[in-house]
Structure 1
Amino acid sequence: MTRKGMEISTVAVIGAGTMGAGIAQVCAQAGWRTHLHDAHPDGLAAGMERISAFWDKGIARGKTTEEQKTAWSAHLHAVNDLGEAVATADLVVEAVPEIMDLKQSIFQQVEALAPPEAVLGTNTSSLSIGTIASVLKHPERLIGMHFFNPVPIMSLLEVVKHEGASASTVALALDAGAAMGKTAILVNDVPGFATSRLGVVLGNEAIRMLADGVASARDIDTAMTLGYRHPMGPLALTDLVGLDVRRDILLNLQASFNDDAYAPHPLLEALVAEGRLGKKTGKGIYDWSSGSPEPCDLPDVK
């Protein structure tokens, strides 16, 4: 239910990258009219293609039917104009890069264009929700909605409330998550929230161990998947999330806590500098050119 007791019928997703496309996909699958918007037409087209390809892969594997794809596709619309995308939205979810000024600017525009009762969700993985909300006329409308990659598969939604968020805004985010098939946890607005604060530290330490020659990347990952029953090792997960994303979260935590324990390891910095950002670029800690993580040479940072 929305803040006025109305059912969600339209969702706008701002940003058609990996996360935005995934969020739009699960919204369409939930049966909502879904508007996917991106400032760059090529990016919007790529996001729509990514969703279609995901459904096609599901059909090939027998997990999705042609009828389901047809029904879901009917709910999904690429919208080039921001005003048109949010004009009738009950929920707007932003999924743009982790840049505070960018997110604040987008939400200022959205607040002026979307219906006054629309709830505004940000998919930030580490930035302060309260700081993003501080530029709004009605900050109580903003809530953190942190999804996980790949969004259609990962079942967790981290709902992050800042001090000014209204109870109805929090309730809408939790209800929306359930409608998308997610299990939602409610977290207060602290640096790194719950998941990023734990996840990036584990990933950064795994990179340190790799650089120190403790074990190979594959063996470090196997230690966690078999020894601690993690579904994916910390190094493969870092590649999946994006090395640049992980680096930016660490820098944010380092600044927020004034603690160099969160400083990105030099190997992580070197990989990002080389443009090796993980699976999305074909190579990071692993080589993903075959579709699966394979060992590859790493920069010497000693």
Structure 2
Amino acid sequence: MQINKIAVVGAGYMGGGIAQEYAIAGHPVVLADVDAELTRKNRARLVAEAKDWEERGLFRPGEAALVEQNLSAGESIEAAVADADYIQEAVPEVPEIKEQVYRRIEAACRPDAVIASNTSTLPIGQLAEALEHKGRFLGVHFSNPAPFIPGVEIIAHEGTDEAIVPDVEALVAQTGKLTARVKDSPGFCLNRLQYALLKEAINMVDEGVVTAEDLDIVVRTTFGFRLPFFGPFAIADMAGLDVYLNCFRTFEDHYGERFATPEGLKELVAGGHLGTKKGGGFVIPAGDTTELVAYRNTAYGRLARLVDELGQAPAVK
């Protein structure tokens, strides 16, 4: 299907940011919130915000005008979705609220309209139970702030019509985002990883290993410094999977099952796959790493200069 007209239900910071991105991509976007007055206020906020960001160089020249031109305020949810090809829901992370909104959307929208949820943790299949036509429903999870975070999770549930997934991916790609397909499970990929890190961070502070302030320093200045450029699999491949295997043995000896060596890692190393130095790894093949190392060093060096230029984040210890 061709997606052009878009409705965004939920005009707060998440929904508003998503609406800005679709408007900048050239789509007519209708906002809707709990009432018409609040929707109009949010639309005015988003236009003013876009102008401010353009003046500060955060938006490209002309993008604020696209937001003002393409973004409108609907009188109601029903009015906003009536003629939409694609409807993005971004209401609070409460199943009862979302389910009520889905019923209103489905009663008013076209039968061929795609409905997407921006939920960050709720299983898509569970939310789909509120809909009569479940095949047109999927998860499209932007991160806050939506205009600036470049990744989007695409989550189809078991009943999603697979034919709509490429169309939705193409729509999101028009905003300049990178999409990743993720299986429907609680927390999907992003938040399952994020919350696992937070859980271990809290454990370490509770155990007296490190203070919260020092832990944040470690994360953002060591392995976290690499993450804008390389994911955990690429980092492991470059370091050496045999090295990681030996480190896991230490963790398993001291922490037990919580840090048990993953079977997938054992199998790769046993098969002679040690990463870039031999046999290839999770995502990077073996071979000459000259260009890869040069890119890595350039990326880290430029990021270090940017961090120095921006300085410490306000109110962060």
Could you say whether these structures have the same fold, taking a TM-score greater than 0.5 normalized by the shorter chain as the test?
yes
3-state SS of paired residue (1:229): helix
Distance in 1 between residues matched to 2:72 and 2:83, nearest whole Å: 13
Aligned residues: percent identity?
34
Equivalent residue, structure 1, for 2:243: none
Unaligned 5+ runs, structure 2: 228-257, 259-311
Superposition deviation, residue 122 in structure 1? 0.3
1:104 aligns with one of 89, 99, 103: 99
Deviates more, 1:68-77 or 1:51-60: 51-60
> How many residues are treated as equivalent by the alignment?
235
Superposition deviation, residue 73 in structure 1? 1.0
3-state SS of paired residue (1:188): coil
- Structure 1 residue 29 corresponds to structure 2 residue 51: no
- Structure 1 residue 95 corresponds to structure 2 residue 90: yes
Q: Does structure 2 conserve the Cα–Cα contact (< 8 Å) formed by 1:17 and 1:43?
A: no
Equivalent residue, structure 1, for 2:14: 19
Unaligned 5+ runs, structure 1: 233-260, 262-289, 296-302
TM-superposition CA deviations, 1:24-46 (whole Å, max 9, x none)? 11010110000111014564345
Distance in 2 between residues matched to 1:151 and 1:70, nearest whole Å: 18
Distance in 2 between residues matched to 1:60 and 1:28, nearest whole Å: 18
- Structure 1 residue 181 corresponds to structure 2 residue 203: no
Distance 1:114 1:231, change over 3 A: farther
Equivalent residue, structure 1, for 2:126: 131
- Structure 1 residue 122 corresponds to structure 2 residue 117: yes
Equivalent residue, structure 1, for 2:292: none
Letter of the 2:31 partner, please give it.
L
Equivalent residue, structure 2, for 1:266: none
Distance in 2 between residues matched to 1:148 and 1:222, nearest whole Å: 23
Distance in 2 between residues matched to 1:144 and 1:221, nearest whole Å: 31
Distance in 2 between residues matched to 1:47 and 1:166, nearest whole Å: 33
Superposition deviation, residue 203 in structure 1? 1.9
Equivalent residue, structure 2, for 1:69: 64
TM-superposition CA deviations, 1:253-288 (whole Å, max 9, x none)? xxxxxxxx9xxxxxxxxxxxxxxxxxxxxxxxxxxx
Equivalent residue, structure 2, for 1:293: 315
State the structure with bigger RCO (CA 8 A, min sep 6), 1 or 2: 1
Q: Does structure 2 conserve the Cα–Cα contact (< 8 Å) formed by 1:142 and 1:169?
A: no
Distance in 2 between residues matched to 1:126 and 1:112, nearest whole Å: 25
Look at both structures and tell me which one has the larger radius of gyration over its CA atoms: 2
Distance in 2 between residues matched to 1:63 and 1:115, nearest whole Å: 36
3-state SS of paired residue (2:98): helix
Distance in 1 between residues matched to 2:214 and 2:120, nearest whole Å: 28
Q: Does structure 2 conserve the Cα–Cα contact (< 8 Å) formed by 1:124 and 1:146?
A: yes
TM-superposition CA deviations, 1:1-38 (whole Å, max 9, x none)? x2xxx3x2211000011111111110101100001110
- TM-score normalized by structure 2? 0.68
Distance in 2 between residues matched to 1:70 and 1:206, nearest whole Å: 43
Superposition deviation, residue 66 in structure 1? 6.1
Distance 1:219 1:130, change over 3 A: same
Equivalent residue, structure 2, for 1:163: 158
Distance in 1 between residues matched to 2:165 and 2:225, nearest whole Å: 30
Distance 1:73 1:291, change over 3 A: farther
3-state SS of paired residue (1:167): coil
Q: Does structure 2 conserve the Cα–Cα contact (< 8 Å) formed by 1:18 and 1:47?
A: no
TM-superposition CA deviations, 1:139-195 (whole Å, max 9, x none)? 000000111011000111100110000012212221111112111111111111111
Deviates more, 1:63-72 or 1:83-92: 63-72
Equivalent residue, structure 2, for 1:226: 221
Superposition deviation, residue 88 in structure 1? 1.0
Once superposed, what is the RMSD of the aligned Cα atoms? 2.4
3-state SS of paired residue (2:115): strand
3-state SS of paired residue (2:224): coil
Superposition deviation, residue 136 in structure 1? 1.6
